[in-house]
Amino acid sequence: MNGKWVTTLGTAALLMAAALFSATAQTQPQPATEAGAISIPDEEAQAIARDAYVYAYPLMLTNAMLRKLSNFAEAPPGDAFGPPNQFHHARAFPNPDDRLVIRTNGGKDWVYTTRSGTYGTDYLYRAAIAQCCVGENLPQDAVYPSLSSDSEGPALDGGSNYVLHFDKGKLPPVDAFWSVTAYDIEGYFIPNSLKRQAIGDRDKLVTNSDGSVDIYVQATSPGSDKEANWLPVGKGPVTLPMRLYSPREEFLKGAWAPPPVKKVD
């Protein structure tokens, strides 16, 4: 669901909620309904309005936050590699709209930040995190890049086959562990024959002849010789969060970034 549609849907729902609440607040008797019109009892109208508000308000907040996190004129200086821009340009973009540039991390479509948990006097950033989350890990503890589109831009979908390729010596640089997990569009694990929901350095990954490693992201088996590196998904939309625990400086300083996921069929 794109940002414009979410905004439109949310606005429409809130307008509907306001209209229904206004209508039910009238104390004067209402004229009889015209032929063919639908009469809704006050309690039902209030329930519809409440549902519209509960559904739409989080969507609008999420969309606004996403756009604030990803709109910026230039990458901020220093160690903010792989931004969302962490509200560094919030005042330069007080009303972000579709004309602004939306940019992901290094052009690889993975969204993450290496400035989490360090608020300082950035009270706007601090307030945003307090509003949406309990808190954040420091990047030295953990970073969670997230991916929902392939290297060409289309959304990841289990109807296609994908490969996440790591060159020799370029596996995620961590001192604890790394993994890639597959979730469906609603954020649930995906049932599969291997009962495997994630894959990473705790698995016995098979390397290619040149020392590289391929992770196969698809709904059907890539073949018995490749199943050790298979991350099963369903036939619908997919998201791939990567978990990097105790990431090393080469990631935190931008020397390493998650590679793109490429469609192979």
pLDDT at 25: 45
pLDDT at 130: 85
pLDDT at 3: 41
Question: And the tokens for 181?
Answer: 């997990």
DSSP 6-43: HHHHHHHHHHHHHHHHHHHT--SPPPPPPTTPPP--HH
pLDDT at 48: 74
pLDDT per residue as tens digits for the range 13-30: 444 444 444 444 444 444
Cβ atoms of 89 and 71 closer than 8 Å: yes
Q: Give the CA radius of gyration of the chain.
A: 23
* Cα distances (angstroms) measured from residue 11 to each of 16, 118, 145, 238: 8, 33, 30, 27
- Decide if pLDDT at 239 tops 50: yes
* Cα distances (angstroms) measured from residue 60 to each of 6, 57, 67, 71, 160: 7, 5, 11, 16, 31
Give the mean model confidence (pLDDT) for residues 45-53.
68
Lowest mean pLDDT among 74-88, 141-155, 194-208: 74-88
Q: Pick the residue with more confidence: 52 or 187? A: 187
What letter represents residue 51's amino acid? D
What is the rounded distance in angstroms from the CA atom of residue 178 to the CA atom of residue 187? 19
At 199 the three-state DSSP class reads strand
CA-nearest of 195, 187, 191, 176 to 235 is 191
Give the mean model confidence (pLDDT) for residues 66-94.
50
Confidence band, pLDDT 50/70/90 cuts, at residue 75: low
pLDDT at 126: 83
pLDDT at 128: 82
pLDDT per residue as tens digits for the range 108-129: 578 888 878 888 888 887 888 8
212 DSSP 8-state letter: -
pLDDT at 107: 43
- Decide if pLDDT at 160 tops 50: yes
Q: Detail the DSSP E strand segments found in 33-148.
A: 142-143, 146-147
pLDDT at 38: 66
Give the mean model confidence (pLDDT) for residues 34-38.
59
pLDDT per residue as tens digits for the range 175-201: 999 999 999 988 999 999 999 999 999
* Cα distances (angstroms) measured from residue 241 to each of 36, 38, 123, 221: 50, 46, 28, 21
- Decide if pLDDT at 261 tops 90: yes
Confidence band, pLDDT 50/70/90 cuts, at residue 65: low
Lowest mean pLDDT among 56-60, 114-118, 194-198, 248-252: 56-60
Q: Detail the DSSP E strand segments found in the chain.
A: 142-143, 146-147, 162-166, 174-181, 183-184, 198-200, 213-218, 230-232, 238-247, 261-263
Of how many residues is the chain composed?
265
Cβ atoms of 197 and 181 closer than 8 Å: yes
Tell me how far apart the 2 most distant CA atoms of the chain are, in Å: 81
Cβ atoms of 145 and 152 closer than 8 Å: no
pLDDT at 69: 52
pLDDT at 121: 87
Q: Which residues contact 82 (CB under 8 A, 6 or more apart)?
A: 105, 106, 110, 112, 113, 114, 145, 254, 257
